Structure 1
């Protein structure tokens, strides 16, 4: 069994052979002197070992592929994230066989509690329908722990080899097919290099994916994208059964309403992930310093209710995320972008882990030896069929939220109308194709209409489109 604690260097010695070194040895000059010419041929190269990449490696190995999983970092490593796991994510983690290991001490939450405009509303995770659905349970886990869990689990599968502390660069693309890449130590230009010639490539190295840019991915910032900052605080809320979201942020000194929203995700270990974010477009950029907003948000939360106390924040980090599939050029003949690299983030709640896990599974299901099988149009088509309606509607609703007058006008009405539990279900896209209730049918119909309109207006071309 191969653990993430091993750094695996692939080479060809007669037939393909493997040289194993302890983690931290890296691809060093001594190795280069022993193997001056290194070439590896693999079934599936997975770039990035976050939730998307590790899940893809797991599924590919289960389908009998030999997999090389590469990440720039040496694990464990941190990642800027809210750390929340919706029922949709828990469903995928169950399929991976790791759900029982998620959450410190088995921590689980019951749903979302929304705050703002003078009210607080409990929004439990919806119960599954009579045909199918997601179990009404969520969780949260620091990405240092979750990503380590998923990467280790992937590396335990026969056929998976892992390489940490390595960058993937210099893709050679011929007629739309990715023929080879160079895998080099992240330690510098003078370190050893490995040329990998894969049959299939899954690119899962995140929103700022370097390899995606080299392959021609375009991020369309005229559509909503997210900016956010997160921190960790010790708090009596650390095991609270609700995740909290503030739709109305106010300066505690002046009382002025601030742009953005805030969240508190209990982690089950006496701490919370406390963060804030805002939606932005190139036309209406969010004029906010998220790290400064984070400090203000924490101050406003202290003493809001019993137990609402927070230590000084640690691990403050920020990120920018493409959302709602607003990227194009996400596939070639034998390669596909998944997860954050493909803009698979929900514009209404910023959730991306569930879509990372789902797109990993969906992409691997396309990898086979069917004659003429190419992913160039096939993979964007799968993404549009699976997420197009919901993401199209979410993008338009997200665009409304960038209007400074919209939430102050709509928020008070919504918080007092009794529709927020339904809204929370839709915001989290906790709706399956099998759900037949009225809310699910209306959501799908509205999403289909939004997607159809975007196609007529041409903006659907930027929803995982192909642009030359």
Structure 2
């Protein structure tokens, strides 16, 4: 649109998976919705592009299964490391038993289109630069659009504000969001490259990620087939304030890709290399106010054990609409909902991920784990948080049990 609407029931800032899901669900609930983004779509986003069964389940709820199945479908994870290669099918349970991978340029554009078809009004190319408060509530958001003769400013008044503007969350910062780096966070890079294994039915992760000096790093490398003639190649490492990641991520990614060229039939130079810093496991505070809420990456809804965030973005976009329908004041209700849904799993996951940053932990325990298909299948389910409240099997009960005890020991619980 050339000029944004002046007011709306629900204003969603950020049109990634979280924002578009929130806009779609709010519009389907009969609300007037504006979905705004600083970029002009289609646009790229730093991501591994992988869609785990948890993300597939949310996309099914949005009615996108047929669209997804027209893309690549994968059976599970091919895990490499410490002299072993294991094929680990997706564990299923109450979640779908398949995954996929779609480049974010296409995925995000399609999700935004889904929100528009659901009834949301989308405006791109406008950046949120300020908020106008009235009585402690957000009355309006001020946007800026670059124009030929300077910058044009717009104000959109709203009854409710959903902040989904990504890991840096500039609008969240204006509202008081704070990222706490005492718990684990991620540093990741991704690129694309032509591959003869673009139709491989398995995603691959190398759990023994080594640097150019042959040292084992606290992270992993991945190769995700896209079914387009290319694969997504990337690396991610873990860090904390005490043990920061002093790694040049793009050179490490190139080194990793060069090591895998023959095995994965990679050809040519890496395309569109990008990197990002990832707050994880709910390591942010002030995620809501009386009539506003942070979701997705802005609320650090990222799995500390695998860096996955698309599924949590889609989930939190759906959940925030339910919470808005049930509560007039979101300042306590939304953090409580996030902690109820993610607190236990995020707490134990970031505790385990923090252990991986301790020198010698991964070299000591990694080889033992990779010698057991059973242990690695269990690890895949736990690392991917492929456990839902509906699951009653033993491994699900153990994961929830560990999460409850971890949460009780947290000096700062997730989202606090």
TM range (shorter): over 0.9
1:82 touches 1:273 (CA, 8 Å); kept in 2?
Answer: yes
Structure-to-structure mapping, 1:21-420, within 5 angstroms: 40-102=6-68, 105-128=70-93, 133-158=94-119, 160-187=120-147, 190-250=150-210, 255-303=214-262, 305=263, 307-368=264-325, 373-418=328-373, 419-420=375-376
**Equivalent of 1:459 in 405, 409, 412:** 412
TM-score (norm 2): 0.96
The CA distance in 2 between the partners of 1:403 and 1:65, in whole Å, is 48
Aligned-residue offset at 1:107: 1.2
Task: For structure 1, list consecutive stretches of 5 or more residues without a partner in the other structure.
Answer: 1-6, 12-39
Aligned-residue offset at 1:369: 7.4
Root-mean-square deviation (CA, aligned residues, Å) is 1.6
The CA distance in 2 between the partners of 1:127 and 1:86, in whole Å, is 11
Query: What SS does the aligned partner of 2:324 have?
Result: coil
Aligned-residue offset at 1:162: 1.1
Query: What SS does the aligned partner of 2:181 have?
Result: coil
1:47 touches 1:203 (CA, 8 Å); kept in 2?
Answer: yes
The CA distance in 1 between the partners of 2:214 and 2:247, in whole Å, is 17
Task: For structure 2, list consecutive stretches of 5 or more residues without a partner in the other structure.
Answer: none
Query: What SS does the aligned partner of 1:320 have?
Result: strand
The CA distance in 2 between the partners of 1:239 and 1:191, in whole Å, is 46
TM-score (norm 1): 0.86
Query: What SS does the aligned partner of 1:377 have?
Result: helix
1:72 touches 1:186 (CA, 8 Å); kept in 2?
Answer: no
Q: Deviations over 1:93-132 (max 9, x none)?
A: 01111222126x431000111111000111110132xxxx
Q: Deviations over 1:53-106 (max 9, x none)?
A: 111100000111000110000000000000000000000001111222126x43
The CA distance in 1 between the partners of 2:330 and 2:285, in whole Å, is 14
Q: Deviations over 1:259-314 (max 9, x none)?
A: 531000000111100000100111100121110100110111122x3x44343100
The CA distance in 2 between the partners of 1:64 and 1:84, in whole Å, is 32
2:217 touches 2:237 (CA, 8 Å); kept in 1?
Answer: no
The CA distance in 2 between the partners of 1:367 and 1:328, in whole Å, is 19
How many residues are treated as equivalent by the alignment?
415
